[in-house]
């Protein structure tokens, strides 16, 4: 402790007016602002992850259950509201056929409202959603949020909301024909998911809102026709061999990087595909052919709709239900060929200095005849099979859970045909199709629960799963070159935006290239967006273990030039994701003190500390009070790249040899004056 106090005292003396430097901050009783900020950041990250997982659960359950939203009368006898005879008891006696009756008026009768929601639950898989949440709770991963929430309160239905007033003027309603042979309900369901606030004392919630469009009919022929068509179209268009009617879209990009990450471009491509007459007629003819014995029935698309796609999403990350780049497992490498065997001995972590130096030091070891960096190419040769198998098996397993797919195929395509078709894809989306209407004499109703699986492929003629069994064939494949080119483009964009350069050599034999990386800040002057208050926890010393540290290194802060730089990096590199920083899952009880020095000029302590270059500098490295940190894992992520490099011999303590003590481990390259 005495040594630590001496150390902290000496560090406090090193503050200078010309730079940001390590600082000691007196703690006030009950005040720990930076710890609170770090905790809040961790809490928000966990909450966002939980929301994402919950929304995926809901989406999958609705995909399975919505096929039952078109019901024949005999299947509704046990319902208390959603039944042709029983519903008459709750609507006005003078309600007109084909006119909308607002649910808000009907629900003034509490019995009607309670019965309605009681009936709704099985149709949306409510108990299954609740069961999945309880399984999620049992893992302990989300204890901070839901440990003290009872099983029955993890998810509830907000029974006071059936309309949609936040983004539209939609009013929930039902309507019927003159003989009550058909009744249709159109409403919104608001699932409410409860969790604890960051203090752990107050229950808060978020909502998942979706449309519930339910129909009951006495017309058995019509029911059979529509039900069969819904089941057929959900999967069969994936396996269509005619390009005009297939729901798999092929990339039209001429470049080797055939990955599309521009939201407007993807949306336009899908709308062109699904709004052309060929595919729309394929959908209509499926319904017409199945209902051909009913001459009083017709099917049409509403001309008022600009697009028949109802759920495309709001940004690039919301589009896909399944995506190859969501299945990229982390690969761990050692950053040097020579590792510190006294610090760690994990034989499963292979050395890959060539790859680290190529990405973070702009040093190329060797390229192949096509210009690909061999270290990067070899990484994908070794990992592409697992990445694609994970993507494909996830889709296959989810499809097989759906009885529409696995039991009694209604369409012309077998399950094997469909699974083979998706082996050419790298993205899958379940589309909600809107605007389709059925006309039964004078009565007209929307078929609102038509869902169609669609996919995206860079080459529909390639069976990617088969290609992964032969490395020679894989290297020549369109998909392999598309992914590799996409990653190369992302790395180049990273280097350009940051201004990555080769670090200055360290004046220590055998350790000349042990800085992590170096950059000049590029055209956005990224270094000028760095502040100690943004980089770290400021109590006592600056800690490298801080969520803010990775956030600002990854250009995620709401600072003008950070926003501009990140957007440029993603756009120029054709990426959705980018992240660099340290693995924060390691034990944070071993802090690493550091300082940010924008310049070494006019610094009286330069010679005292033997500092050689500006940048982010180690000033305190664990010490006897907090234990030694002998290695750290440095992460680097792009869409198809998820790397963790074990860095060593850089940290340690005053009792362990440390290469970079009082030197910049991330160097600021000083730009040359023009």
- Which tens digits make up the pLDDT trace of 475-490? 999 999 999 999 999 9
Determine the Cα–Cα distance for residues 654 and 620; give it in Å rounded to an integer. Answer: 8
pLDDT tens for each residue of 222-246? 899 999 999 999 999 999 999 999 9
pLDDT of residue 23: 29
pLDDT of residue 546: 60
Bridge-based pairing of strands 331-334 and 322-323 is unpaired
Burial class for 565, CB neighbours closer than 10 Å (0-12, 13-18, 19+): buried
| Token duo for residue 557 | 């802060």
Determine the Cα–Cα distance for residues 486 and 570; give it in Å rounded to an integer. Answer: 11
pLDDT of residue 468: 97
Determine the Cα–Cα distance for residues 206 and 190; give it in Å rounded to an integer. Answer: 10
pLDDT tens for each residue of 500-513? 999 999 888 888 99
Instruction: Classify residue 294 by its DSSP letter.
Output: -
Question: Phi and psi at residue 434, in whole multiples of 5°?
Answer: -115, 165
Burial class for 330, CB neighbours closer than 10 Å (0-12, 13-18, 19+): exposed
Burial class for 222, CB neighbours closer than 10 Å (0-12, 13-18, 19+): buried
The whole-angstrom distance between residue 174's C-alpha and the CA centroid of its chain comes to: 36
Please report, for residues 136, 403, 572, the alpha-carbon distance to residue 396 in angstroms, rounded to integers and kept in the order given: 22, 13, 34
| Token duo for residue 278 | 């060929």
Determine the Cα–Cα distance for residues 15 and 223; give it in Å rounded to an integer. Answer: 79
| 8 A C-beta contact, residue 464 and residue 455 | no
Instruction: Classify residue 644 by its DSSP letter.
Output: E
Confidence at 393, pLDDT banded by 50, 70, 90: very high
pLDDT of residue 313: 79
pLDDT tens for each residue of 458-472? 999 999 999 999 999
Q: Which segments of 107-219 does DSSP mark as H helices, in order?
A: 110-123, 126-138, 143-146
Three-class SS of residue 658?
A: coil
How would you list the strands of the sheet with 443-446, edge to edge? 297-301, 436-440, 443-446
Residue with tokens 């005053």, as numbered in its chain: 654
Bridge-based pairing of strands 500-501 and 517-519 is antiparallel
Sign, CA dihedral 87-88-91-97, equals positive
| 8 A C-beta contact, residue 668 and residue 650 | no
Determine the Cα–Cα distance for residues 582 and 597; give it in Å rounded to an integer. Answer: 20
Mean pLDDT of 384-403: 95
Determine the Cα–Cα distance for residues 114 and 82; give it in Å rounded to an integer. Answer: 12
Determine the Cα–Cα distance for residues 44 and 38; give it in Å rounded to an integer. Answer: 10
Determine the Cα–Cα distance for residues 301 and 245; give it in Å rounded to an integer. Answer: 17
Angle 51-574-271 from CA coordinates, rounded to 5°: 70
Q: Which residues are registered as beta bridge partners of 442?
A: none
Determine the Cα–Cα distance for residues 63 and 124; give it in Å rounded to an integer. Answer: 9
Angle, helix 126-138 to helix 110-123, in steps of 10 degrees: 70
pLDDT of residue 30: 33
Question: Phi and psi at residue 208, in whole multiples of 5°?
Answer: -120, 115
pTM for the complete prediction? 0.85
pLDDT at 312 over 90: no
Residue with tokens 């000691």, as numbered in its chain: 24
- The closest of 274, 281, 342, 335 to 306, measured between CA atoms, is 274
pLDDT tens for each residue of 629-668? 778 899 999 999 999 999 988 876 555 567 777 788 899 9
| Token duo for residue 566 | 């990140």
Residue with tokens 């490298």, as numbered in its chain: 544
């Amino acid at each position: 402790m005495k040594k630590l106090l001496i150390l902290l005292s000496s560090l406090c003396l090193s503050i200078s007016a010309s730079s940001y430097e390590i600082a000691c901050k007196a703690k006030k009783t009950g005040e720990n602002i930076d710890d609170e900020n770090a905790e809040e950041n961790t809490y928000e990250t966990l909450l966002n992850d939980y929301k994402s997982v919950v929304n995926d659960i809901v989406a999958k359950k609705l995909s399975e259950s919505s096929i039952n939203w078109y019901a024949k009368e005999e299947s509704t006898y046990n319902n208390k509201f959603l039944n042709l005879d029983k519903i008459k008891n709750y609507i006005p006696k003078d309600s007109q056929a084909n006119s909308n009756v607002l649910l808000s008026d009907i629900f003034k009768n509490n019995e009607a409202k309670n019965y309605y929601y009681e009936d709704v639950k099985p149709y949306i898989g409510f108990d299954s959603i609740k069961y999945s949440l309880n399984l999620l709770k049992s893992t302990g991963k989300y204890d901070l949020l839901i440990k003290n929430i009872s099983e029955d309160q993890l998810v509830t239905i907000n029974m006071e909301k059936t309309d949609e007033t936040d983004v539209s003027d939609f009013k929930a309603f039902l309507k019927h024909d003159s003989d009550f042979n058909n009744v249709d309900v159109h409403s919104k369901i608001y699932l409410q998911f409860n969790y604890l606030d960051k203090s752990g004392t107050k229950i808060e919630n978020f909502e998942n809102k979706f449309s519930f469009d339910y129909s009951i009919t006495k017309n058995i022929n019509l029911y059979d026709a529509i039900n069969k068509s819904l089941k057929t179209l959900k999967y069969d268009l994936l396996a269509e061999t005619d390009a005009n009617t297939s729901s798999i879209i092929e990339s039209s990009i001429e470049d080797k990087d055939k990955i599309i990450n521009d939201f407007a471009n993807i949306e336009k491509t899908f709308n062109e595909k699904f709004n052309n007459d060929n595919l729309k007629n394929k959908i209509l003819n499926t319904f017409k052919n199945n209902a051909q014995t009913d001459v009083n029935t017709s099917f049409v698309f509403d001309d008022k709709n600009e697009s028949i796609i109802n759920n495309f999403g709001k940004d690039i990350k919301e589009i896909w239900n399944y995506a190859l780049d969501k299945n990229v497992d982390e690969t761990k490498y050692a950053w040097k060929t020579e590792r510190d065997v006294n610090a760690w001995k994990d034989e499963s972590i292979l050395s890959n200095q060539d790859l680290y130096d190529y990405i973070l030091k702009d040093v190329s070891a060797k390229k192949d005849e096509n210009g690909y960096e061999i270290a990067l190419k070899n990484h994908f040769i070794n990992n592409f099979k697992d990445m694609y198998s994970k993507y494909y098996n996830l889709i296959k397993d989810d499809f097989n859970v759906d009885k529409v797919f696995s039991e009694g195929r209604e369409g012309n395509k077998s399950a094997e045909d469909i699974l083979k078709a998706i082996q050419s894809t790298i993205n899958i989306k379940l589309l909600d199709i809107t605007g389709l209407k059925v006309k039964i004499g004078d009565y007209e109703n929307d078929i609102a629960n038509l869902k169609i699986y669609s996919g995206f492929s860079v080459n529909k003629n390639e069976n990617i799963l088969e290609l992964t069994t032969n490395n020679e064939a894989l290297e020549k494949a369109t998909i392999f070159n598309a992914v590799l080119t996409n990653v190369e483009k992302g790395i180049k964009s990273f280097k350009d935006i940051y201004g990555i350069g080769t670090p200055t050599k360290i004046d220590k034999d055998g350790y000349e290239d042990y800085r992590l990386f170096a950059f000049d800040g590029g055209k956005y002057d990224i270094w000028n967006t760095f502040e100690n208050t943004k980089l770290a926890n400021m109590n006592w010393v600056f800690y490298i273990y801080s969520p803010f540290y990775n956030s600002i290194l990854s250009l995620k802060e709401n600072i003008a030039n950070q926003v501009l730089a990140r957007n440029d990096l993603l756009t120029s590199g054709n990426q959705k994701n980018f992240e660099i920083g340290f693995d924060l899952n390691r034990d944070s009880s071993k802090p690493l003190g550091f300082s940010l020095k924008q310049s070494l000029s006019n610094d009286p302590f330069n010679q005292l500390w033997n500092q050689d270059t500006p940048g982010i500098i180690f000033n305190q490295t664990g010490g006897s009070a907090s234990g030694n940190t002998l290695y750290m894992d440095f992460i680097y992520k792009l869409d198809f790249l998820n790397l963790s490099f074990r860095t060593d011999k850089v940290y340690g303590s005053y009792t362990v040899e440390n290469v970079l003590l009082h030197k910049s481990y991330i160097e600021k390259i000083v730009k040359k004056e023009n």
